Amino acid sequence: MAVVALASLAGSPGVTTAAAALAVHWRRPVVLIEADTSAASTLMAGFFRANLRTSEGGIEKLAYALAREVLEPEDILNPELALAIAVHNLPPIPSMPIPSIPAQHLMWVVPGFVNLGVVEGVRSLWSKLPRLFAALGEGGIDVVLDLGRLQIDDPRLPLLDGADKVLICASASSIDLNRAYRRLELPDLAQRVRTMAGERYWSLLTSPVATELPASAFTEHILPVVATFPHDPEGAAVFSHGRPDSKPGRNRYRSAVRRAAQDLRVMIEPTENRNVS
């Protein structure tokens, strides 16, 4: 099993875009869960281009089922329950296409909140998800988790402890470097990162519009860098806004994501082997 969590500490560095792109190019079957508690789902309007009803899957329905203790782990992929959207089974929509995924790739999406008013009422969800992830892993399915922005003493912090890799997303700028440095000084993250930097916790950078800092600056002062995605708004829009991608081989953003997904799998596999042995 592999669980990869993506989050930001400040600003809007494209966490959901990166999470969706990684899930599209993940080498194994994967469930992408949009668990951002600070904003309504962007996957439904962006990645899916508003082609689907908001009732088609969703973390609110998942939280309700888990709270009632009527959900078995395998139920998350049951099409009759409509908790997750099976991207690989969606019919083509020529007029407003959903980004294509590689042939034979199995990918499900659990969209985020539609009604932010229920966020406080589902706090118990976050402690229940690791058991669900473990059961999916036993079935050979990995998880990519989009946490959006982490708040101070965020109730979702236990999800970081259960992830194989936590990618802290940031722009490769002095502004984000300073923001991340100051945020990581706070007790809720300081001890976690101090003991697991370079093992569980990594930086995932995006090149900024203005002057770019070298990855070594983040490695020295924050966390080692797993990858740097290029500033490529059109390429990234394939995943953030469902933009058609007629020449995926020339999409710089997609190419960088593909390499990062491969590198992450290589980094995670030794850990999986140790757990098996």
pLDDT tens for 157-173 read 999 999 999 999 999 99
- pLDDT value of residue 275: 52
At 276 the pLDDT is 45
- At residue 64, the pLDDT reads 84
The whole-angstrom separation of Cα 172 and Cα 219 is 11
Partnered with residue 149 across adjacent β-strands are 8
| pLDDT block averages, 10 residues each, the chain of length 277 | 92 87 96 94 89 77 80 81 89 73 92 90 89 89 96 94 95 93 94 89 93 93 95 93 83 94 90 51
Q: What is the pLDDT of residue 270?
A: 65
Q: Where are the domains of the chain?
A: 3-276
Residues in Cβ contact with 32 at an 8 Å cutoff, skipping those fewer than 6 apart? 19, 20, 23, 43, 107, 108, 109, 110, 143, 144, 146
Q: How many residues does the chain have?
A: 277
Identify the pLDDT of residue 97.
67
Q: What is the pLDDT of residue 277?
A: 41
CA distance 229 to 140: 28
**pTM above 0.85?**
yes
**CATH T-level topology, domain 3-276:** Rossmann fold (3.40.50)
